[in-house]
Amino acid sequence: MATTSYLRVDVFCDRPFGGNPLAVFPEADDLGDDTMRLLAREMNLSETVFCLTPTAPQADTRLRIFTVDREVPMAGHPTVGTIFALCESGILDVGDGETVLQAELGVGVLPVVVRKRDGVVESVTMTQRAPRFGEPFGDVELAARALGLRADQLCPGELPIRVVDTGIPWLLIPCEDLRAVQRIDPVASACRQLAERTGTDLIHAFTQDVVDHSSSVHTRHVWFGTVTPSEDPATGSAAGCLGSYLVHEQVLLAAPDVELTVEQGLEIGRPSRIRVRVATSKGRVNEVQVGGTAVLMGGGEIRV
């Protein structure tokens, strides 16, 4: 029976056992779709990434990203974590300083910046697509039921509930304070209704009331009934959407750009920090970057 190797990396953290764990299969050209799905289930993580020979001539690698039950066209921690793992392990050879790589994803080829010093990868930053903003979602009662909260704990200052898409669509729900976010207890039936009404089952709650005062926003991945085996401790695609939302709603001023730090994962003991940069042109968000650091935890082989 053949074997294939994999790497394990914790993403959006600077020490082991924090951030969001990820499995990366660096040489997946010989793996079929069904095998990739089975391996993603076997890893039982929020995402598993398979690296293939790119089809786009300008790309350095092609990434296919699987949750336990689906393939997704783009995700933040898998992209940042995979490029980190490939560079830190020497599979992708980059020198000290700043190197721009091109990653081929389901949404197209996106630039990824690797910063390395003294042979150590210090950070990886991906550029996401310019955001698409959905209309405000007005059924606050339903959103509150989905989160297990009261309606008066949502939408402080009349901030709207809204779908934002920088590669995949996230429903962003503003909460009044840290206590509300910490008390979230998702109700699956209401989450399903909310997903049907909004067109996405990716639900992300946030507040500007933070634990670490160097952070800008505190977030939680709300519903994990069909996407991940447990609560996601760091969600890079949602962070890009959230930064775009905060600029779009004029909570943050980007003149012409703004940087923020998202804290996540504290409620489940895997603290994470995601750095986001949002740039504007003529009053519109035109560039979103999401990045951070990671820790290469190890690797192994698995029979296929």
Pairwise CA distance, residues 120 & 201, whole Å: 37
Torsion angles phi and psi, residue 88, rounded to 5: -65, -35
Structure token pair of residue 87: 């560079």
Omega into 73 within 30° of 0, i.e. cis?
Answer: no
Q: Which fold has domain 132-291?
A: Diaminopimelate Epimerase; Chain A, domain 1 (3.10.310)
Distances in Å between the alpha carbon of 165 and those of 1, 22, 124, 181? Answer: 42, 23, 21, 22
Binned average pLDDT, 10 residues per bin, the chain of 304 residues: 94 96 97 96 94 97 94 94 96 94 95 96 96 98 97 96 96 98 94 95 96 96 64 94 97 94 96 98 93 97 94
Handedness of CA 225, 226, 230, 235 (dihedral sign): negative
Pairwise CA distance, residues 263 & 242, whole Å: 12
Question: Does the annotation count 301 as an active-site position?
Answer: no
Give me the catalytic one of 47, 88, 231, 287. Answer: 47
Q: Does 3-126+292-303 match 132-291 in CATH topology? A: yes
What pLDDT sits at residue 171?
97
What pLDDT sits at residue 1?
72
Domains of the chain, by residue range, sit at 3-126+292-303, 132-291
CATH class of 3-126+292-303: alpha beta
What pLDDT sits at residue 47?
93
Pairwise CA distance, residues 68 & 226, whole Å: 8
